Amino acid sequence: MQPTDPGITWLEEKPLGLAERLYLPLFLQGLTTTARHLVSPKVTVSFPEQRPTVGNPLIYRGVHRLNRDDEGRVKCVACFLCATACPAHCIDIVATESPWPDREKYPEAFQIDELRCIFCGMCEEACPVDAIELTSLLDLTGKSREEMVFDKEKLLSVYDMTKDTEPMKSAALGGAL
């Protein structure tokens, strides 16, 4: 880009007034700002004792869960759209023939490597049946790498754990399912 580019607007600095040239008024102004912040309420959340408040759980991207339908079965139809959309390749699905008449396939195994996951929410976006969702659970810890690979049962248990506090998003957002 040239300095003469018409897209650039060159602003001339305003000339300094007497108070600004004397420096002291500006200094006092800065010092009062600092002093005000020194005593103002702090924004820090002392984490283990205090829990941060999640603003809107509907748009928060925390730990995944696999939703259940009304009969308690996994909603997933093993279409692989989430695994395809996943930029971190952390979703691993083994599909098999469904024992139920309302769908052709269901996931025999469904694994999410929470350590590889970047919590972008693309899987949630991609899912055609609103089976995979991100909850507002934010303290995801484990003692080994293996423990951090969540299988189907674990993901379903996350649903069981959070379904009362966080209803399925499809309903809250006015979805059909």
Q: Site residues (CB under 8 A) for another protein?
A: 2-3, 10, 13, 16, 18, 20-24, 27, 30-31, 33-35, 37-44, 46
Residue nearer to another protein on the CB measure, 44 or 53? 44
Residue nearer to another protein on the CB measure, 18 or 176? 18
* CA distance linking residue 108 with residue 111, whole number of Å: 10
**Smallest gap, in angstroms, from Cβ of residue 139 to another protein?**
18
Residue nearer to another protein on the CB measure, 13 or 70? 13
Residue nearer to another protein on the CB measure, 43 or 176? 43
**Smallest gap, in angstroms, from Cβ of residue 37 to another protein?**
5
What kind and span of H or E run contains 18?
helix 18-22
Residue nearer to another protein on the CB measure, 16 or 109? 16
- The helix/strand count (H/E) of the chain reads as 6, 5
* Rama region for 107: left / alpha / beta (φ>0; ψ in -120 to 50; rest): beta
DSSP string, 132-162: EEE-S------SSTGGGEE-HHHHHHHHHHH
**Smallest gap, in angstroms, from Cβ of residue 17 to another protein?**
10
**Smallest gap, in angstroms, from Cβ of residue 51 to another protein?**
16
* Residues with Cβ within 8 Å of residue 51, at least 6 apart in sequence: 45
Q: Are 75 and 68 in contact (CB under 8 A)?
A: yes
Q: Are 66 and 77 in contact (CB under 8 A)?
A: no
**Smallest gap, in angstroms, from Cβ of residue 5 to another protein?**
11
